[in-house]
A and B are shown apart, each in its own frame.
Chain A
Amino acid sequence: MKKIRSNSIEQTTPLLRWVSEGQIEEIHFATLEVLERTGVKVDHPEALQLLKDAGCIVNENRVRIPSWLVEECIRLAPSKIVVANRKGNRVMPLEKNRTYFGTGSDLPYTIDLETGKRRRSTKNDVELACRVMDYLPNYDFVMSYAIASDTSSKVSDLHQLEAMVSNTIKPMIVTAHDEINMRAQLEMAALVVGGKEELRKNPFLILYSEPISPLVHTNDGVGKMFASFEYGVPVVYTPGILSGATTPVTKAGTIVLMNAEALAGVVMAQLKQKGAPIIIGGGATPMDMRTTATLYGSPETMMNYAIMTQLSQFYGIPNFTEAGCVNSPVPDAQAGMEAGNGILMAQLMGANLVHDVGYLEGGKTGSLTFLTMCNDFMDNARYMGRGTRIDEETMAVDVIDEVGPGGNYVSHEHTFKHFREEVWTPKQFNRSFWEIWEEQGSKSMEDNAEELAKEIVANHTSEPLNETIRQGLNEIIAETDKAKATSRRKK
Chain B
Amino acid sequence: MSSLNDLAELVISGNYNGAKELTQRLIDNGTEPLEIINQGLMAGMNVVGVRFKAGDMFVPEVMMSAKAMSTGIELVKPLIADRDMPSAGTVLIGTVKGDLHDIGKKLVVMMMESAGFKVIDLGVDISPEAFVEAVKEHKPQAIGMSALLTTTMLSMRDTIEALEEEGLRDSVKIVIGGAPISQSFAEEIGADGYAPDAAAATDLCKKLIA
Q: How far is the CB of B65 from chain A (nearest CB, A)?
A: 14
Q: Which of A260-268, A272-280, A288-296, A390-398 lies at the binding interface?
A: A288-296
A244 touches B104 (CB 8 A): no
Q: What per-residue 1/0 map shows which CB atoms of A241-279 lie under 8 Å from chain B?
A: 010111001000000000000000000000000000000
State which of B55, B59, B180 has its C-beta within 8 Å of the C-beta of A292: B59
Interface: A480 (CB within 8 A): no
Q: How far is the CB of B202 from chain A (nearest CB, A)?
A: 13
Interface: B187 (CB within 8 A): no
Interface: A212 (CB within 8 A): yes
Interface: B179 (CB within 8 A): yes
A147 touches B59 (CB 8 A): no
Q: How far is the CB of B185 from chain A (nearest CB, A)?
A: 9
Known pairs A218-B100, A290-B58, A290-B59; A108 contacts B150 (CB<8 A):
yes
Known pairs A242-B103, A245-B103, A292-B104; A156 contacts B58 (CB<8 A):
no
Residues of A within 8 A of B17 (CB): none
B150 touches A364 (CB 8 A): no
Q: Which residue of A lies closest to B184 (CB)?
A: A120
Interface: A149 (CB within 8 A): yes
Q: How far is the CB of A334 from chain B (nearest CB, A)?
A: 18
Residues of B within 8 A of A244 (CB): 59-60
Residues of A within 8 A of B58 (CB): 289-290
A245 to B55, CA, bound (A): 19
Q: What per-residue 1/0 map shows which CB atoms of B148-181 lie under 8 Å from chain A?
A: 0011001000000000000000000000000110
Residues of B within 8 A of A287 (CB): 59, 103
Q: What per-residue 1/0 map shows which CB atoms of B174-210 lie under 8 Å from chain A?
A: 0000011000000000000000011000000000000
Q: How far is the CB of A265 from chain B (nearest CB, A)?
A: 17
Q: How far is the CB of A107 from chain B (nearest CB, A)?
A: 10
Known pairs A147-B150, A153-B154; A364 contacts B59 (CB<8 A):
no
Quick one: which of A108, A149, A242, A291 has the most chain B CB within 10 A?
A: A108
B59 touches A289 (CB 8 A): yes
State which of A156, A177, A364 has its C-beta within 8 Å of the C-beta of B179: A364
Residues of A within 8 A of B59 (CB): 244, 287, 289-290, 292
Interface: B120 (CB within 8 A): no
B100 touches A153 (CB 8 A): no
Known pairs A244-B60, A289-B60; A156 contacts B151 (CB<8 A):
yes
A108 touches B179 (CB 8 A): yes
Interface residues on B, range: 10 to 19
A242 to B58, CA, bound (A): 15
A207 to B150, CA, bound (A): 20
A153 to B180, CA, bound (A): 14
Q: Which of A435-491 contact B (CB under 8 A)?
A: none
Q: Which residue of B lies closest to A153 (CB)?
A: B151
Q: Which residue of A lies closest to B52 (CB)?
A: A290
Residues of A within 8 A of B100 (CB): 212, 218
Interface: B107 (CB within 8 A): yes
Known pairs A108-B180, A364-B179; A153 contacts B104 (CB<8 A):
no
Q: How far is the CB of A462 from chain B (nearest CB, A)?
A: 26
Q: What per-residue 1/0 map shows which CB atoms of B94-133 lie under 8 Å from chain A?
A: 0000001001100100000000000000000000000000
Q: What per-residue 1/0 map shows which CB atoms of B68-108 lie under 8 Å from chain A?
A: 00000000000000000000000000000000100110010
A112 to B48, CA, bound (A): 40
Q: Which residue of A lies closest to B56 (CB)?
A: A290
Residues of B within 8 A of A106 (CB): 150
Quick one: which of B55, B100, B107, B198 has the most chain A CB within 10 A?
A: B100
A364 to B198, CA, bound (A): 18
Q: Which residue of B lies closest to A154 (CB)?
A: B151
Q: What per-residue 1/0 map shows which CB atoms of A145-167 lie under 8 Å from chain B?
A: 00101000110100000000000
Q: How far is the CB of B173 from chain A (nearest CB, A)?
A: 23
Q: What per-residue 1/0 map shows which CB atoms of A333-355 lie under 8 Å from chain B?
A: 00000000000000000000000
Q: Which residue of A lies closest to B55 (CB)?
A: A290
Residues of A within 8 A of B154 (CB): 153
Q: Which residue of A lies closest to B98 (CB)?
A: A177
A153 touches B150 (CB 8 A): yes
A287 to B63, CA, bound (A): 14
Quick one: which of A149, A154, A156, A245 has the most chain B CB within 10 A?
A: A245
Q: How far is the CB of B138 from chain A (nearest CB, A)?
A: 24
Q: How far is the CB of A261 from chain B (nearest CB, A)?
A: 15
Q: Which of B42-59 contact A (CB under 8 A)?
A: 55, 58-59
Residues of A within 8 A of B179 (CB): 108, 364
Q: What per-residue 1/0 map shows which CB atoms of A212-256 lie under 8 Å from chain B?
A: 100000100000000000000000000000101110010000000
State which of A177, A249, A292 has its C-beta within 8 Å of the C-beta of B151: A177
Q: How far is the CB of B165 from chain A (nearest CB, A)?
A: 16
Give 28 pairs: A residue, B residue, CB < 8 Å, sorted on A. Answer: A106-B150, A120-B180, A147-B150, A153-B151, A153-B154, A156-B150, A156-B151, A177-B151, A212-B100, A244-B59, A244-B60, A245-B103, A245-B107, A246-B103, A249-B60, A287-B59, A287-B103, A289-B59, A290-B55, A290-B58, A290-B59, A291-B197, A292-B59, A292-B104, A292-B107, A292-B197, A292-B198, A364-B179
Further contacts, 16 of them, CB under 8 A, given A108-B180, A246-B103, A289-B60? A109-B180, A120-B150, A147-B150, A149-B150, A149-B180, A153-B150, A154-B151, A242-B103, A245-B107, A249-B60, A289-B59, A290-B55, A290-B59, A291-B197, A292-B107, A292-B198
Binding site for B on A (CB under 8 A): 106, 108-109, 120, 147, 149, 153-154, 156, 177, 212, 218, 242, 244-246, 249, 287, 289-292, 364
